[in-house]
Amino acid sequence: MTVTETNTLADRIEDLLPQTQCTKCGYPACRPYAEAVASGEANYNQCPPGGAEGVARLAALLGKPVIPLNSANGVERPRPVAVIDEQVCIGCTLCMQACPVDAIVGAPKQMHTVIAELCTGCDLCVPPCPVDCIAMPPVTGEATGWDAWSQAQADAARARHDRH
């Protein structure tokens, strides 16, 4: 007896997203966005981290034309990584709570740090920081979208987000 796994359209769409969990698409994570695209509630050009290549991947899956990234959701850019100024950090833990992939470590009233290899560059840790000690420098040079990210990184980020 063999087991056949059926991937829904939302599953296949989610597999094509970079899994930064950034919410720039207007949804709380990559999975809800994939479900919205599958149901026709959202357009397939709302993922800035996926960039033009991400739009092309989704268009191919959906049998639709390649359209420009919706600038209302942001722009394609080199991938940043959060860097915490540990001299300024007050240990409030708000950045840790905001990180969708658990890339920030620390303890209450102790300085925090970012595990750069785990950071998806989502920017979600920046707004809640009360002392403005988080910078988001680009780390991929001129590479943007999928040129700045790999499928292995996306898969690992999704697994961390799902555990979070």
CATH 1.10.10.10 fits 80-137, yes or no: no
pLDDT of 148 strictly over 90: yes
Nearest Cα residue to 83 out of 24, 29, 126, 33: 126
Mean pLDDT of 90-111: 92
CATH 3.30.70.20 in the chain is located at 80-137
pLDDT band at 5 (very low <50, low <70, confident <90, very high): low
Give the model's pLDDT for residue 108.
85
Residue 134 to residue 123: CA distance in whole angstroms? 9
pTM score over 0.95: no
